[in-house]
Amino acid sequence: MGLKLFNTLSRSVQDFTPLHPGQNPVGFYCCGPTVYDFAHIGNWRTFVLGDLVRRTLELKGCSITHVMNITDVDDKIIRRVRETRTSLCEFTARFEAAFFEDLKTLNCRMPHHTPRATEHIPEIVALIEKLLARGVAYRSADGSVYFSIEHYQATGRRYGQLLKLKFDEMRPGQRVQSDEYAKESVADFALWKARAPEDGEVFWPSPFGEGRPGWHVECSAMSMKILGPSFDLHLGGEDLVFPHHEDEIAQSEGATGQPFVKHWLHGAHLLVEGRKMSKSLGNFFTLRDLLARGFTGREVRYLLLTAHYRETFNFTLDGLLGARAALGRIDECLGKLREIATSPKSKPQSPRPDTSTLQRFNDALDDDLNISAAWGVVFGWVREMNRRLADHSLAPDEAADALAAWEKMDSVLGVGAKTEAEAPAEILALLEARQAARKARDFKRADEIRDELKAKGWAIEDTPKGPKLKKI
Rounded-to-integer distance, Cα 269 and Cα 371, Å: 16
Closer to ligand AMP by Cβ: residue 277 or 340? 277
Q: Which stretch binds ligand AMP (CB under 6 A): 14-22, 26-34, 225-233, 386-394?
A: 26-34
Among 19, 31, 81, 394, interactor with Zn ion by CB under 5 A? 31
d(CA 207, CA 203): 13
Which residue from 111, 115, 213, 237 is in contact with ligand AMP, where contact means CB under 6 A?
237
Buried b (16+ CB within 10 A) or exposed e, 364-403: bbbbbbbbeebbebbeebbeebeebbeeeebbbbbbbbbb
Q: Which of 4, 130, 177, 239 binds ligand AMP (CB under 6 A)?
A: 239
Among Zn ion, ligand AMP, none, what does residue 42 contact (CB within 5–8 Å per kind)? ligand AMP
By beta-carbon distance, which residue lies closest to ligand AMP? Answer: 237
Short-list 289, 181, 153, CA closest to 244: 181
Please state, in angstroms and as integers, the Cα–Cα distance from residue 293 to each residue in 76, 290, 320, 460, following that order: 28, 5, 11, 22
Report whether the peptide linkage leading into residue 33 is cis, meaning its omega lies within 30 degrees of zero: no
Q: 19 or 31, CB closer to Zn ion?
A: 31
Establish if 297 lies at the interface with ligand AMP (CB under 6 A). Answer: no
CB of 219 to Zn ion, least distance (A): 3
Task: Give the nearer residue to ligand AMP in terms of CB position, either 34 or 148.
Answer: 34
Q: How far apart are CA 303 and CA 300, in angstroms?
A: 5
Report what 219 binds from ligand AMP, Zn ion, none; CB cut-off 5-8 Å by kind. Zn ion
Figure out which of the listed residues 26, 103, 222, 270 binds ligand AMP, where binding follows CB under 6 A. 270
* Cβ distance to ligand AMP smaller for residue 42 or 254: 42
Asked whether the beta carbons of 170 and 149 are under 8 A apart, the reply is yes
| CB 269, CB 83: distance < 8 Å | no
Q: What size, in residues, is the chain?
A: 472
Q: Could you tell me which residues are beta bridge partners of residue 68?
A: 30
Q: Which of Zn ion, ligand AMP, none does residue 327 bind (CB under 5 to 8 Å by kind)?
A: none
The residue from 68, 98, 219, 300 that contacts Zn ion (CB under 5 A) is 219
- Residue 245 CB, nearest distance to ligand AMP (Å)? 10
Q: Which of 471, 468, 427 is nearest to 335 (CA)?
A: 468
Sites of contact with Zn ion (CB under 5 A): 31, 219
Sites of contact with ligand AMP (CB under 6 A): 31, 33-34, 42-43, 45-46, 236-237, 239-240, 269-270, 277
